[in-house]
Amino acid sequence: MTPEPTAEISSVSTAFTEAFGRRPDGVWAAPGRVNVIGEHTDYNDGFVLPMALPHGVRAAAGRSRHARVRVLSLQEPGAPVTVELDARPGDVTGWAAYVAGVVWSLRTAGYDVGGVDLAVDGDVPAGAGLSSSAALECSVACALNELFGLGIEPVDLARLAQRAENDFVGMPCGVMDQMASVNCREGHVLFLDTRSMVTEQVPFDPASRGRTLLVIDTHAPHRLVDGEYAKRRAACEAAAATLGVAALRDVALDELDTALARLDDATQRRRVRHVVSENARVEDVVRTLRTGELDEIGPLLTASHASLRDDYEVTVGELDTAVEAALSAGALGARMTGGGFGGCVIALVPRDRADTVVEAVRAAFSDAGYAEPSAFTAVPAPGARRLF
Ligand code: GLA
């Protein structure tokens, strides 16, 4: 007998049944993320430290007899989108490309994915840099993995979801967001070496220390995101080639000055300084968290922001204003999180200062004529899983 869906999954399950005339075979969930530190390091083979959010995407899915994919989204009006199983990059645009891309990625890797119906429902704030696309990709990837008995291990599943985004959607992202969505654990941040793909679950419980990790969504419209992201990536690759290393990960902090002296291009020098120093900051944060000295990560977060602002040049006025206002109001550390050019800031704050910090950011935004920001407390949530 099929179990009754719980309230958490009933809306997506009901939408599936209404559209496709039968119950789904199962419902899978995959989360969005915030990155605590390690920004723009993942495509340089470096270190990252994300955690999963309680926000995510739920995918109700069922195998079908037809050789095609039908998918509806509760966030998008209209009938289900139908995609042929052999759709190629360029054939599908808009939100359904993330779903079609996962099917394409699995099939081109040799996995036998057949006809499938899907309903997806998400609550990751859109355009906030909290990985709503990775959550969508990974919820669908997990559903297909189980529905078709593919037996794909989590790390490979994350890589296949990344490939969907790189080669089907056309966004040259690293692997952090998909790894976070698939592999994060409740109560932990995920320390990931994006070269070896070795992970360590590091306990992270600010509340037990009287601290709160605030996520402040600036609501700044994402500007130039994809093009500027690709440019940053290209600059890093060019610098690595000049330095004769496989990736900037191979430049150690104590070799930084020598490496910089070998680069003629001033922009490349700034990009390299960010990536090399950021990798070192991730390792410092992890060491600090292991010793339980939570407050000591604050200055490292703030230094990361300065580096992203001055050397990597991916912040905008809203991000800088939010960080400055949070720090002035008593945050122990604050930084932009995600790709930049808009999106969110995280701030580590004493719990009894949280409201004051949010108010201070609101006031600063109002003074600057920016749209009103919103905020929530981030508590590390579980990674992708089957809900029923
Ligand atoms: C985006 C990408 C990630 C990563 C971050 C920056 O979120 O999807 O792969 O590069 O930007 O750290």
Q: How far is the CA of 33 from the centre of ligand 1 (A)?
A: 11
Positive or negative: CA dihedral 298, 302, 308, 314 = positive
Work out which ligand 1 atom sits closest to the CA atom of 39.
Answer: 12
- Does ligand 1 have an atom closer than 6 angstroms to the CB of 174? yes
pLDDT value, residue 8:
65
**Beta carbon of 173 within 6 Å of any ligand 1 atom:** yes
Q: Is 39 in the pocket of ligand 1 (CB under 6 A)?
A: yes
| Cα 48 to ligand 1 centre (Å) | 10
Write down the mean pLDDT value for the chain: 96
Beta strand spans in the chain (E): 26-35, 47-48, 50-63, 68-73, 81-84, 116-122, 188-193, 199-203, 211-217, 333-337, 344-350, 374-377, 385-386
Question: Residue 82 and residue 353: Cα distance in Å, rounded?
Answer: 50
Distance CA 177, CA 174 (A): 8
What are the pLDDT digits (tens) for 290-346?
999 999 999 999 999 999 999 999 999 999 999 999 999 999 999 999 999 999 999
Q: Is 33 in the pocket of ligand 1 (CB under 6 A)?
A: no
Q: What is the pLDDT of residues 79-111, one digit of tens each?
A: 999 999 999 999 999 999 999 999 999 999 999
Compute the distance between CA of residue 142 and CA of residue 386 in angstroms, rounded to an integer.
Answer: 8
Task: Say yes or no: CB of residue 45 within 6 Å of ligand 1.
Answer: no
Alpha carbon distances (Å) from 211 to 32, 48, 215, 242: 22, 22, 13, 44
Region 55-60: what's the mean pLDDT?
Answer: 98
Provide the pLDDT for residue 2. 44
Give the pLDDT confidence score for residue 224 in this predicted structure: 61
The catalytic residue positions are: 177
CB distance 215 to 344 below 8 Å: yes
Q: Whose CA is nearest to atom 2 of ligand 1?
A: 173
**C-alpha distances in Å from residue 332, one per residue of 36, 161, 213, 216:** 14, 35, 10, 15
Q: How far apart are CA 344 and CA 338, in angstroms?
A: 7
Q: Give the model confidence (pLDDT) of 24-45 as tens digits.
A: 999 999 999 999 999 999 999 9
Closest ligand 1 atom to 134 CA: 8
Residue 173 — very low, low, confident or very high, per pLDDT cuts 50/70/90? very high
Residue 7's pLDDT is 63
- Per-residue DSSP letter, 342: S
Mean pLDDT for 254-266 is 98
Q: What is the pLDDT of residue 1?
A: 41
